[in-house]
Homo-oligomer: A and B are copies of this chain.
Amino acid sequence: MNSVVDELVITNKSKIIFLVLDGLGGLPESEGGKTELQVARTPNLDKLARSSVCGLMDPILPGITPGSGPAHFALFGYDPIEANIGRGVLEAAGINLPLTDRDVAIRINFATSDKNGNITDRRAGRLATDINKRICEKIRNKVSLAPEAEFVIETVKEHRAVLVIRGDDLGGHIDDTDPQQTGVLPLEPVAADEGSQKTVRIVKKFLEQAHAAIADEPDGNTMLLRGFAKHKPYKSMMERFKLKTLAVANYPMYRGVAFLLGMDLNPVTPDTKTEFEAVAQKYNDYDFFFVHVKATDARGEDGDFQAKVKVIEEVDNLLPMLTGLKPDVMVVTADHSTPAAMKSHSWHPVPVLLHSNVCRTDDVQTFDEIACIRGGLGRMPSMNLMPIVLANAGRLTKFGA
């Protein structure tokens, strides 16, 4: 599907604001009740829905609960199954570490072990980030994988870091070395396929030298490797859709996905209001604004129904800051559902509204999960949204004669 769309892309001066309320989709607190979005007083969203085309979307496939990574890829029109990426790559992207197609990215947890090498703390007491930085610097200075590979190591936060092994013909199918318990040795890295054996050999060389370099650390004298992933570069939003894109997102995961798709990253801002202000400030500089609100998901994960309602109401209250810019296309949707009742992501489809002056308004009167199924978009995969956005922006030409 993607290549058909990509080939039809044309450019113009239209502006698209794409507001993602993370984990917006919900459930009633108890049977017969209303969802968070139904309970929330959302006069601005409801008004917008009445002049929009609405629907429900399955982020990945019906019944599948998505992680945030694939759910966002789908929203941006990338096949979420094909584009699914390993944790290592996502972690590297989250700190905006540029990767190449020769890279295997790996998450590191610094851990502490006793004199026999048995793990005593899998997170090294949630190491101070400064100590993490010092440990990474030691490793940088003492370890060499030359001539067959290079490496990059970068602190993420607390006990977490990212390791990138860069070289030719490196497979990324390697099992985690985290034994998920204390009192035992870390696992040896094991290749899950032939093509990853060279990587394993290099990783072992890395571990041997790195362990020697940090042996004297009281906390963080060893490391557990997780989420090995070969990087497969994506076509950017510019390459595929000719969209100059700004990501206004404050959390590493979403900044990471945006980074992988070649979006520019707005500096981290304190809250939703400052996010919306950034859109206004940079309105002339971009075609497409990906605006990400995290708190809906966070309150859902907390299981705090009322707090999630409140976040939705706050966003609704700020919405005129975006609609007031009069974008050619305004989208409000979610990456996935995070019902407070489940305290987790869920498979339930997400509501979507799309406003433009050619959207063919349906008769949905309120923006919520129940009303939207009667909208003009019906129920569709999230991946189908992006072509509809482009069409409404006048950015797709005709297919066939």
Asked whether, in the complex, the Cβ of B348 is within 8 Å of the Cβ of A5, the reply is no
Asked whether, in the complex, the Cβ of A401 is within 8 Å of the Cβ of B69, the reply is yes
Give complex CA distance A66, B399 in Å: 5
Asked whether, in the complex, the Cβ of B56 is within 8 Å of the Cβ of A400, the reply is no
Give complex CA distance A358, B63 in Å: 12
CB neighbours (8 Å) of A80 from chain B are: 400
**Quick one: which of A27, A378, A389, A396 has the most chain B CB within 10 A?**
A378
Asked whether, in the complex, the Cβ of B64 is within 8 Å of the Cβ of A8, the reply is yes
Give complex CA distance A225, B339 in Å: 57
Give complex CA distance A342, B356 in Å: 13
Which residues of chain A in 375-399 are interfacial with respect to chain B, using CB atoms and an 8 Å cutoff? 375-380, 384, 386-391, 396-399
The reply to whether the CB of A140 lies closer than 8 angstroms to some CB of chain B is no
This protein's copies in its complex: 2
Which residues of chain A in 347-383 are interfacial with respect to chain B, using CB atoms and an 8 Å cutoff? 347-349, 357-358, 360-363, 369-370, 373-380
Give complex CA distance A295, B347 in Å: 35
Q: Indicate with 1 or 0, residue by residue over A299-343, a CB within 8 angstroms of chain B CB atoms.
A: 000000000000000000000000000000000000000010110
Known A-B contacts A32-B51, A391-B64; the reply to A370 vs B380 at CB < 8 A is no
Give complex CA distance A84, B7 in Å: 14
Contact among B373, B397, B398 with A374 in the assembled complex (CB-CB below 8 Å): B373
CB neighbours (8 Å) of A396 from chain B are: 63-65, 347
CB neighbours (8 Å) of A227 from chain B are: 401
CB neighbours (8 Å) of A71 from chain B are: 400
Which residues of chain A in 51-91 are interfacial with respect to chain B, using CB atoms and an 8 Å cutoff? 51, 56, 60-71, 80-81, 84-87, 90
Asked whether, in the complex, the Cβ of A61 is within 8 Å of the Cβ of B387, the reply is yes
A397 (CB) vs chain B CBs: closest residue: B65
Contact among B56, B62, B384, B399 with A384 in the assembled complex (CB-CB below 8 Å): B62
* Cβ-closest 10 pairs across A and B: A63-B387, A378-B379, A67-B400, A70-B400, A63-B388, A63-B391, A347-B391, A62-B384, A67-B401, A65-B398
| 7 sampled A-B residue pairs with Cβ under 8 A | A27-B360, A28-B360, A62-B387, A63-B386, A71-B400, A363-B370, A379-B379
